[in-house]
């Protein structure tokens, strides 16, 4: 099953993607739908208004997750690129809902940063409450997977040893277009999917999600030792090699740059980077 959140004249609605059509589900957005333990049945049987997928205005997949966990240094290729050893435990940081944008929305280039970088990622969306999960419980808690780009302000990220400040600038993080349930993907809850990122048509990142050091099941089991994961919570599983900051010379997003992020089976994001002009005081 494939699910999304679309914007309508009456507000956002959860939707089921059937081929080239989006069928509205009686829920204001995907996070609200996932909060119902019967979300699978509700989504499968929904017969609300239909929209052409090609013309749909898609919101961030889960517009306001209760928690967004991000994982650093989780692709073997990226770890080697950065000159590090494979980690014993996941490197975790957070992102806030204000950072999220839709899969075709503009990515904001805040004037506070001059080093805005791309990070194509596989996102995991939680579909059931889970705390101190066993492997089987972690598998069962996965609602599905989606595309996310953890656009990062590198000059802010590396101001200190803590990365948060460079990771959650407002309106920077495309999320969507669809949540795809594990049964539709090769590898299921441990999907093996080709991932690519391009800037202005030039491919800058390529990887397969099977290269993750800590896979989605391991991440849910680990994070749920710390805090309860709830339906609609999101885990961004990390990015592979090819980021702009590691290039020689470094390369960053500029006004008008087109960022294309794609994961086979999950869909494609196309976002234009736009410089933000602060409102006059």
Average pLDDT over the chain, rounded to an integer: 96
pLDDT of residue 79: 78
pLDDT tens sequence across 139-160: 999 999 999 999 999 999 999 9
C-beta of residue 93 within 8 angstroms of C-beta of residue 164: yes
Which pair of structure tokens corresponds to residue 210?
Answer: 């099977």
Residue 281 lies in a domain: no
pLDDT of residue 280: 72
Between 277 and 239, whose confidence is greater?
239
172 and 114 within one domain: yes
pLDDT tens sequence across 183-221: 999 999 999 999 999 999 999 999 999 999 999 999 999
73 and 31 within one domain: no
104 and 30 within one domain: no
Q: What is the CATH number of the domain that holds 21?
A: 2.30.30
C-beta of residue 154 within 8 angstroms of C-beta of residue 118: no
Q: Evaluate if residue 81 carries a pLDDT over 80.
A: no
What is the average per-residue pLDDT within 9-34? 97
Question: Considering the entire predicted model, what is its pTM?
Answer: 0.96
The residues with which 123 forms a beta bridge, in sequence order, are 146, 236
Domain assignment of residue 17, given as a range: 1-59
123 and 20 within one domain: no
pLDDT band at 250 (very low <50, low <70, confident <90, very high): very high
Last residue of a domain, one of 11, 28, 59: 59
Last residue of a domain, one of 59, 80, 100: 59
What is the average per-residue pLDDT within 180-185? 98
183 and 227 within one domain: yes
225 and 125 within one domain: yes
80 and 198 within one domain: yes
Cα–Cα nearest to 189, from 122, 130, 238, 252: 122
pLDDT band at 281 (very low <50, low <70, confident <90, very high): low
DSSP sequence for 16-64: EEETTEEEE-SSSSHHHHHTSTTHHHHHHH----EEEGGG-EEPPSSSS
Number of domains in the chain: 2
What is the average per-residue pLDDT within 98-102? 98
pLDDT band at 80 (very low <50, low <70, confident <90, very high): confident
101 and 76 within one domain: yes
Residue 280 lies in a domain: no
Angle (CA) 175-177-183 rounded to 5° is 105
Q: What is the CATH number of the domain that holds 126?
A: 3.90.850.10
């Amino acid at each position: 099953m494939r699910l999304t959140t679309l914007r309508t004249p009456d507000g956002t609605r959860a939707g089921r993607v059937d081929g080239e059509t989006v069928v509205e589900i009686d829920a204001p957005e995907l996070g609200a739908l996932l909060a119902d333990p019967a979300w699978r049945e509700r989504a499968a049987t929904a017969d609300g208004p239909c929209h052409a997928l090609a013309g749909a205005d898609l919101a961030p997949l889960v517009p306001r997750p209760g928690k967004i966990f991000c994982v650093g240094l989780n692709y073997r290729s990226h770890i080697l690129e950065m000159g590090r050893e494979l980690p014993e435990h996941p490197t975790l940081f957070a992102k806030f809902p204000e950072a999220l944008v839709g899969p075709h929305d503009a990515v904001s280039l805040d004037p506070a940063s001059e080093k805005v970088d791309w990070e194509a990622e596989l996102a995991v969306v939680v579909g059931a409450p889970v705390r101190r999960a066993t492997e089987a419980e972690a598998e069962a808690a996965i609602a599905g997977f989606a595309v996310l780009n953890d656009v990062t302000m590198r000059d802010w990220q590396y101001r200190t040893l803590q990365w948060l400040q460079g990771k959650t600038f407002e309106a920077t993080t495309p999320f969507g277009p669809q949540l795809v349930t594990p049964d539709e993907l090769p590898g299921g809850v441990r999907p093996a999917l080709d991932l690519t990122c391009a800037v202005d048509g030039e491919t800058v990142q390529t990887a397969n999600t099977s290269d993750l050091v800590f896979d989605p099941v391991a991440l849910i089991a680990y994070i749920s030792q710390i805090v309860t994961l709830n339906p609609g919570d999101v885990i961004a599983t990390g990015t592979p090699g090819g980021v702009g900051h590691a290039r020689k010379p470094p390369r960053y997003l500029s006004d008008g740059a087109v960022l294309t992020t794609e994961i086979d089976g999950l869909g494609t994001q196309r976002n234009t980077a736009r410089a933000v002009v602060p409102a006059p005081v």
